[in-house]
A and B are shown apart, each in its own frame.
Chain A
Amino acid sequence: MENKPTSVWTSNRFWRRSATWITGVAAVLLILLTFDSMGQMQMGTAEDIQNKVTKRIPSPVVINYKIDYVLDPYRGHEVPIIGGKTVDSATGKVSSKFEEKEKFFGRDDWSEEEARALIHKGKLTIQAKNCMDCHTLLGNGAYYAPDLTKAWLDPAWSSEGPLQAMTGANSKEEAMATFLQNPDKYPTHERMMPNLGITPEEAKAVVAYLKFMSAIDTNGFPRNFGKIKGAVDARK
């Protein structure tokens, strides 16, 4: 049995009640914030893009558009830009125009249904091949291979980049898909990606997912993506 405490500060009852209340309040706050976050994090639709509504997680039809990652002076960090940008002259805020299209595997008219099916397959493949146990996605995962959050925008895969040239493909998406199917054939570094038996369909879907993921608003992560290349490179 408890002895009579000399002060409230040494009373077990006081601390038990405090613990219960504090835990309860924290849990309720977390649940309320979760409702708000879930609302803001819902995947957008093709209609949003038509109406030029920016969503944190856009519709998968963004694969039909040119995607960019530019500094927004208003928010103070980089933001994804879909289909060209407009700049607000008063605040400097940049936003997506949703106009400039870009062919993805030869097409820029992927319907919402097709695009959703593609990223569905892509996400399943990303999980089935344990990508996260070498790479990071949105910065989470293992640190044995490059972060994939903005991999779609990586200068190495652009038409001037060494990786596209290495695969002999004519476009970024084809280069990435070719690499994914036989990564051990293209040794870029001593540390190579293993062959995970990725089929052509799976590779296409994974690349679609990478393009879709690069359009997610990550509050400016990663910082300065690809911006300093060439300027501060000690090897050159």
Chain B
Amino acid sequence: MQGNRLYEGQKLALKYFTVAIVLFGAQLLFGLIAAIQYLYPSFLFNTLDFSIARMVHINALVVWLLYAMIGAVYWLLPDEAGVEVVGVKLGTLAFYILTAAVAVVVLVYIFVQVGPGNEMTLWLITEGREYIEAPRWADIGIVAVVLVFLYNVYATVLKGKHSGILVVLMADLIALAGLYLAGMFYTDNIAVDQYWWWWVVHLWVEATWEVYVAAVGGYILIKTLNANRQVVEMWLWIEVAMMFGSGILGLGHHYFWIGTPEYWWEIGALFSALEPVPLVGLFVHVLYDWGKERGKGNSIKNIPAFAWLTVETFGNFLGAGVWGFMHTLPQINLYTHGTQWPAAHGHLAFFGAYVAIMISAIYLAVQGKAGLKEMKMTKAGWWAISLITVGVLLMTVSLTLSAYTQTMVERGMHGATWEGYFIAQANKWFVQGMGWRLASGLAVVAGYALLVYDLLTVTKKQPAEVTEGEAAVQTA
């Protein structure tokens, strides 16, 4: 940390983090609306239908994570490279353009919603492709903004130090940005459409985003635990090897049933079954470092950030690894594909793999902004992490129970017809699961309110004099 003196790049990071947290709130609000509609379908019917609520829910999630991801890179970039971010003015301009564009897209989503069946709608209103619905004009804007971001990362690293973390990020970010282009075209052939759509969706969340998390997680370990950089970077390369080694061809598990050749059954099954392996490595690594530093009597420099990183490693392994593996084999996926199973998996995976680590990075920035050497957990922060984590876990279990019911009743008994679908949706156990999902969603919203409060006040609520010696005793 540089005390109170922040790099300009880090000030830009704070802007990105602020918008990220606001969009996180929007994500929860629209998720709540969608969850209510499952139980009370007339809620906002023909005004703000499920399709819109659900689209805003997920788009807000994706966009706030991207904001936080860009923010975290701008935060660590000058710190790691040891020089100011090169094009920081351009970066700030890109930030305002992106934010204005996001605001327009969201307003159009909410107030225009749908358009006539022609190309104009795809250019101006929505592309109607799940997760990447943003209209084409916004796609082009996003690409322009990302190019500015990439320029800043590359130019800064080339000018400063090339740490292993930065090298991994440079390679990963260019792949991440390039993949977005695979989602920017139209075809009448829905099988080909979905084939390339998965290149964006899967190769983001199950490959490049995971590697991003490993790199930023390494940085957070160094900052919170003073972990040995050489060890952290060795683990990082091992994780890159395992994540790309399993994740790239793990793409095959989306190619079982969309008009693709059968060989994807074997390829998808094998490689996606390997995908949890690096995620085990990630949390073993974090716990190992924690134990080692504790053994030396070293204190944790930022307890909230470290706590969220721990949630990340377990959540990533459980949500992405275990819950993903549960329905990834084609023999099982034939019945679970297109049910609440992916919803159960998606909620814990996104929370575990991405939300938790981004909150961790934001706590790190909060500490850096105040120039604190050490930061303790407050009561509000403790309640926030508990409510959000337990809430998402409960939500996942609830959705899993609904998913089981749907799979057995709709797919097993009735064979996926219209009638079979609605019989399963009306099943008591299915409905109960949806009820618990809504309840746990309310817990997450309460946790979010506390999180926002804590992020704003945590630095002012620190114990007056936390010397390093005292801190070591308390955490040991």
Tell me which of B45, B338, B339 contacts A192 (CB under 8 A): B45
Give complex CA distance A134, B338 in Å. Answer: 11
- Asked whether any CB of chain B lies closer than 8 Å to the CB of A133, the reply is yes
Give complex CA distance A131, B275 in Å. Answer: 31
Q: Which residue of A lies closest to B417 (CB)?
A: A226
Q: Which residue of B lies closest to A23 (CB)?
A: B244
A57 contacts which chain B residues (CB < 8 A)? 189, 191-192, 259
- Asked whether any CB of chain B lies closer than 8 Å to the CB of A87, the reply is no
**How many of chain B's residues touch chain A, expressed as a range?**
35 or more
A37 with B244: in contact, given A116-B188, A127-B127, A128-B122 (CB under 8 Å)? no
Q: How many chain-A residues does the 8 Å CB contact rule pick out?
A: 96
Q: Mark B403-430, 1 if CB is under 8 A from A, else 0.
A: 0001000010111111111110100000
Q: Mark B251-271, 1 if CB is under 8 A from A, else 0.
A: 100111111111111010000
B258 contacts which chain A residues (CB < 8 A)? 138-140, 218
- Asked whether any CB of chain B lies closer than 8 Å to the CB of A151, the reply is yes
Cβ A138 vs Cβ B257 within 8 A: yes
- Asked whether any CB of chain B lies closer than 8 Å to the CB of A197, the reply is yes
A3 contacts which chain B residues (CB < 8 A)? 230
B127 contacts which chain A residues (CB < 8 A)? 127
- Asked whether any CB of chain A lies closer than 8 Å to the CB of B298, the reply is no
Cβ B122 vs Cβ A124 within 8 A: yes
9 other A-B residue contacts (CB within 8 Å) besides A119-B188, A128-B121, A222-B415: A15-B237, A57-B191, A128-B118, A130-B52, A139-B258, A140-B254, A142-B50, A197-B116, A229-B417
A23 with B240: in contact, given A128-B126, A220-B334 (CB under 8 Å)? yes
CB distance from A1 to the nearest CB of B (A): 9
Cβ A127 vs Cβ B126 within 8 A: yes
- Asked whether any CB of chain B lies closer than 8 Å to the CB of A120, the reply is yes
Residues of B that sit less than 8 Å from A by CB: 34, 37-38, 41-42, 45-46, 49-52, 54-55, 113-119, 121-122, 125-130, 133, 164, 186, 188-195, 230, 233-234, 237-238, 240-241, 244-245, 248-249, 251, 254-265, 267, 334-335, 337-340, 342-343, 406, 411, 413-423, 425
CB distance from A228 to the nearest CB of B (A): 5
Tell me which of B54, B125, B186, B337 contacts A142 (CB under 8 A): B54
B267 contacts which chain A residues (CB < 8 A)? 33
Cβ A2 vs Cβ B230 within 8 A: yes
Cβ A202 vs Cβ B337 within 8 A: no
A128 with B128: in contact, given A223-B416, A232-B413 (CB under 8 Å)? yes
Cβ B249 vs Cβ A26 within 8 A: yes
